[in-house]
A and B are shown apart, each in its own frame.
Chain A
Amino acid sequence: MTLLGQFALWAAFLLALWCAVVGFSGRWRGRPDLTTAVTRAVYGICAALLVAAASLWKGLLTHDFNIEYVWAYTSRNLPTYYVVSAFWAGQKGSLLFWAVVLSIFASAAQLLSSRRHAALLPYVAAVTSAVVAFFVSVMLFAANPFARMAVTPLDGRGLNPQLQNVGMTIHPPMLYLGYISITIPFAFAVAALLSRKLDTGWIHAIRKWTLVSWLVLGVGISLGMWWAFVELGWGGYWAWDPVENASLLPWLTMTAFLHSVMIQEKRGMLKRWNLGLIVGTFMLSIFGTFITRSGVIASVHSFTQSNVGYFFLAFLVIAGVFGFTLLYTRWPLLKPEVHLESVASREAAFLFNNLLFVGIAFSVLWGTLFPILSELVRGTKITVGPPFFNRVNVPLGLLLLALTGVGPLIAWRRASPANLRRQFTWPVGGAVLVLAALLGSGMRDFYAILSFTLAAFVAGTIIQEFFRGVRARRRMHGESVPIALGRLIARNRRRYGGYMVHVAILIYAVGFAGMAFKREREATLKPGQSIDIASPFGYTYRFTHVGISQYQVLNRIVSAATVQVARDGRPEGVMTSEKRQHFTVENGEKVPSFEPSTEVAIRSGLREDVYIVFAGPVNGTEEAVYRFTINPLVWWIWFGGFVLVFGGIVTMWPGDGTGAPGRARPAQAGYDVALVNTGAEP
């Protein structure tokens, strides 16, 4: 199978190279025969890479330890679902995963794009093929997943225990999907620039793609946070690690794009900015890959250091020079159709929102690269950790949260004082009430108070929008509240789906603010001994150590430390945190394969999560050292993730809500005409 895999990789590489060259030249020279061939070749590349993927999966599932990758990431006693997920657990396999998924997306882009964008498709094929060719070349020349070993070992090394978690079977592919799918909007942007078709056509062509990328990347980031919380055992979910930052960067710029593109669609402004954002987002996705795989910046999430970093650095530079040079050459064609008229307008609010998104992205990038810069300038190594990022980004983030509420309420073009009063009275009033309640309850943490108050303000603006929409429908059509709400959302999915995403963001903000009230304590307990911890919500938890039991499960020896939990004297059940010693079997003997890993015990609730880490035994006895943590409001972060997905799906759902999916509708036409005809101010 490795021969077949190798052959498939070479076939994909040569086909992708041909496709990239002929795609550009065929379209350039106006040769329809060549452009048709290029489109078909995209499917051929996909087929070849699927064969390569199937070959690697077969090697993994049949425990072919002669393949170095299979030996390095699996073992005979590894559960099958982790054997399957080992495909993307290592550097080489994840490169193949990346190339396969990109080729699938490239094929989908050719297959699903409307014929209205046919002129762009050959260039799209050329760009996606060039990116595929790059990834396959990295595999062929630096990180071959089919590399063989000189001797076939009897068993493999096994998968890192921290990757043996259900979150890790989903989180990396989701992140990859997010990163990879950014290539399609980039390809359309380049196609629009090359073909000089710089109207809103390319934007319509990529609308769904950008939403999918943004959503999938957001889900990937959220899953990563969840995995860090449940698996790593430090009681947090975001450490501002360079690799975490790298995943956040394209998400931030893409979020900026999703807002600013609305201005281009409605007002014909920000064309240059939007193209720049798409090119920049693609660059950041490659930058993230470079950070993860080069080892240039220390990270707990990095792959093993290897020379693939140089490939990515070179590609990053080439793609950047190509993209921005192209943008520069088309600069005069991208003049705005109108200019901003007022600071008090939705366009201005979106513009400031974009400034903040890009500002946060810059500060995260700046902080991530600052250690390298400092070493270059001063020759001194420094660390830039959470204290730096929190100090710089929290104020910007809170400002952005405020704009999340302001933006949707201000009228397009120019808002009158009456409009502002009408829109903001209730939300601001609600926020002031919440502020008073927080201060009255004795809360004194500045950032937490500000977060909760702004979240209340944003919630007020969204509730008001839904309330007014439902009321208008009820008056016009006499509908019941649920039907009016359902139809309100269905008839304008993009707007109300967007509001749902805003709800998700404010839920995230509330969850993040909860960390300010975290309580943690270490304790050494003998069986029967207990410790009391007061939670920020006023409960008193009593943790009683029951004992430690040891047993064998699948590929590991488990040491399970059990704790009885009571809240305000009422029993809440038992919680068990584990140490797991994974092993492989050599000559009938169990040989430890990794350092013992920790499984955290978590009891999740709306108010707080109880989080117990079994540190280890004292002197080999049942006397155990624990860390007990009360994490307030963490559940809300995961719930925010669900709301984000729901809102994203509503936004992307096809059709116009009238029961005719896919029917083209002259969006907002009546709205504009009514405003212009009546001279009414919105």
Chain B
Amino acid sequence: MSAPIDRRRFLAGGAALAVLGLSRPLAGQSQLPGAGATGSLGDPAAAGRPQTPTSTGDNDLAIQALEKRLRCTCGCTLDVYTCRTTDFSCTYSPQLHREVMQLWNSGMNAQQVIDTFVTRYGEQALMAPKPQGFNLAGYLLPGTLVAGAGAVMLWILTRRRAIAGVPVAVPGVPADATAEELERLRQALAESDQ
């Protein structure tokens, strides 16, 4: 008769089975423990969109900064760079990236590339509207309102101070405390204020 399985063994066995069961390789997948060899995937379609090898321009900081100012046209509301590299599933942003690279490689600077995009796709190709004309209201109104309201508040406060001159005592709320307690409180407050 075999020895009974204790709880620790049972759990360890269960965990091992679970790992084996959950991580079962798909049929046809290459087993590649070694470095350097490149095998084929059993189900390439399940691994996302096929990718092309990275080019030098993909990591160019100037290109990245430029693409962060251009909007992707896929409807995601993200910029070209972010959309392209978020999960690499967008089909629009890689094309826009290629357009940017093409314009950049043709000798255009960042502003010229952006202007070309605006000509091709309209002003909504920009991640933020140009600060000109009506758009200036977009940029300036919040700050102007806050500054204006702040200035008015300051003016009122300083004016009121000038008129009031002497500070007015605030009527206190009757305290449910003895004179001794009030004195202790006063001392504590004075101490904490120091």
> Which residues of A are in contact with B by a Cβ distance under 8 Å?
232-234, 236, 239, 241-242, 267, 298-300, 338-343, 348, 351-352, 355-356, 359-360, 362-363, 366-367, 370, 374, 377-378, 380-388, 391-392, 395-396, 413-414, 419, 422, 468-469, 471-472, 475-476, 520-524, 526-529, 544, 546-553, 557, 559, 579, 581, 592, 595-598, 613-625, 627, 666, 668-680, 682
Apart from the given pairs A234-B78, A524-B54, 16 other A-B contacts in the complex at a CB distance below 8 Å = A340-B160, A359-B145, A359-B149, A378-B133, A381-B122, A383-B129, A471-B192, A527-B35, A579-B46, A598-B86, A614-B48, A617-B44, A622-B38, A623-B53, A670-B181, A670-B182
B50 touches A618 (CB 8 A): yes
The answer to whether A673 and B173 touch (CB under 8 A), given A234-B86, A387-B128, A522-B85, is yes
CB of A370 to closest CB in B, whole Å: 5
B170 touches A338 (CB 8 A): yes
Give Cα distance in the complex from A615 to B124, angstroms: 28
Q: Which 8 A-B pairs have the closest CB atoms?
A: A528-B35, A363-B142, A620-B44, A359-B146, A615-B88, A559-B47, A616-B48, A598-B87
The answer to whether A620 and B54 touch (CB under 8 A), given A234-B85, A676-B169, is no
B182 touches A680 (CB 8 A): no
Residue of B nearest to A525 (CB): B54
Give Cα distance in the complex from A475 to B177, angstroms: 21
| B138-194 residues at the A interface, CB under 8 angstroms | 138-139, 141-143, 145-146, 149-150, 153-154, 157-158, 160-161, 164, 167-177, 181-182, 184-194
B176 touches A666 (CB 8 A): yes
The answer to whether A381 and B124 touch (CB under 8 A), given A300-B77, A413-B170, A674-B186, is yes
CB of A193 to closest CB in B, whole Å: 25
A559 touches B128 (CB 8 A): no
Residue of A nearest to B156 (CB): A340
A621 touches B50 (CB 8 A): no
The interface stretch among B6-14, B25-33, B101-109 is B25-33
The answer to whether A550 and B42 touch (CB under 8 A), given A419-B193, A672-B172, is yes
Give Cα distance in the complex from A383 to B194, angstroms: 53
B59 touches A521 (CB 8 A): yes
Contacts of A557 in B (CB 8 A): 26, 43, 46
Contacts of A413 in B (CB 8 A): 167, 170
Contacts of A528 in B (CB 8 A): 34-37
- B41 located at the interface, meaning its Cβ lies under 8 Å from any Cβ of chain A in the complex: yes
Give Cα distance in the complex from A670 to B182, angstroms: 7
B69 touches A339 (CB 8 A): no
Give the residue of B32, B75, B149 whose beta carbon is less than 8 angstroms from that of A298: B75
Residue of A nearest to B133 (CB): A378
Contacts of A351 in B (CB 8 A): 153
Give Cα distance in the complex from A380 to B142, angstroms: 21
A396 touches B146 (CB 8 A): yes
- B1 located at the interface, meaning its Cβ lies under 8 Å from any Cβ of chain A in the complex: no
Please list 24 pairs of residues, one from A and one from B, whose beta carbons are closer than 8 Å in the complex, sorted by A's number.
Answer: A236-B82, A338-B170, A341-B161, A366-B141, A377-B134, A378-B134, A380-B124, A383-B71, A386-B79, A391-B128, A413-B167, A471-B191, A476-B191, A550-B46, A596-B48, A596-B49, A597-B87, A615-B51, A615-B87, A618-B52, A621-B39, A669-B172, A670-B182, A679-B169
B79 touches A385 (CB 8 A): yes
Contacts of A242 in B (CB 8 A): 77
A396 touches B143 (CB 8 A): yes
A616 touches B47 (CB 8 A): yes
B123 touches A387 (CB 8 A): no
The answer to whether A396 and B142 touch (CB under 8 A), given A384-B129, A386-B127, is yes
Residue of A nearest to B75 (CB): A298
A233 touches B86 (CB 8 A): yes
A298 touches B77 (CB 8 A): yes
- B76 located at the interface, meaning its Cβ lies under 8 Å from any Cβ of chain A in the complex: yes
A677 touches B47 (CB 8 A): no
Give Cα distance in the complex from A417 to B187, angstroms: 21
The answer to whether A622 and B175 touch (CB under 8 A), given A234-B78, A355-B146, A615-B51, is no
Give Cα distance in the complex from A3 to B137, angstroms: 53
Give Cα distance in the complex from A627 to B53, angstroms: 12
CB of B26 to closest CB in A, whole Å: 5
A374 touches B41 (CB 8 A): no
Contacts of B52 in A (CB 8 A): 618, 625
A380 touches B53 (CB 8 A): no
- B23 located at the interface, meaning its Cβ lies under 8 Å from any Cβ of chain A in the complex: yes
Contacts of B43 in A (CB 8 A): 550, 557, 559, 581
Residue of A nearest to B82 (CB): A234
- B22 located at the interface, meaning its Cβ lies under 8 Å from any Cβ of chain A in the complex: yes
Give Cα distance in the complex from A340 to B157, angstroms: 7
A676 touches B85 (CB 8 A): no
Contacts of B172 in A (CB 8 A): 669, 672-673, 675-677
A581 touches B45 (CB 8 A): yes
Give Cα distance in the complex from A184 to B3, angstroms: 65
Give Cα distance in the complex from A496 to B78, angstroms: 40
B191 touches A475 (CB 8 A): yes
Contacts of B48 in A (CB 8 A): 559, 579, 596, 598, 614-617
Contacts of A676 in B (CB 8 A): 169-172
The answer to whether A627 and B85 touch (CB under 8 A), given A476-B184, A551-B26, A678-B186, is yes
Give Cα distance in the complex from A289 to B127, angstroms: 24
Contacts of A299 in B (CB 8 A): 77
CB of A41 to closest CB in B, whole Å: 39
Contacts of B54 in A (CB 8 A): 522-524, 625
Contacts of B122 in A (CB 8 A): 380-381
Most chain B CB neighbours (cut-off 10 Å) among A388, A529, A597, A614? A388
B36 touches A367 (CB 8 A): no
CB of B177 to closest CB in A, whole Å: 5
A595 touches B89 (CB 8 A): yes
B77 touches A550 (CB 8 A): no
Give Cα distance in the complex from A441 to B53, angstroms: 38
Residue of B nearest to A239 (CB): B78
Q: Mark B43-73, 1 if CB is under 8 A from A, else 0.
A: 1111111111110001100001000110100
B38 touches A621 (CB 8 A): yes
Contacts of B127 in A (CB 8 A): 383, 385-388
A670 touches B175 (CB 8 A): yes
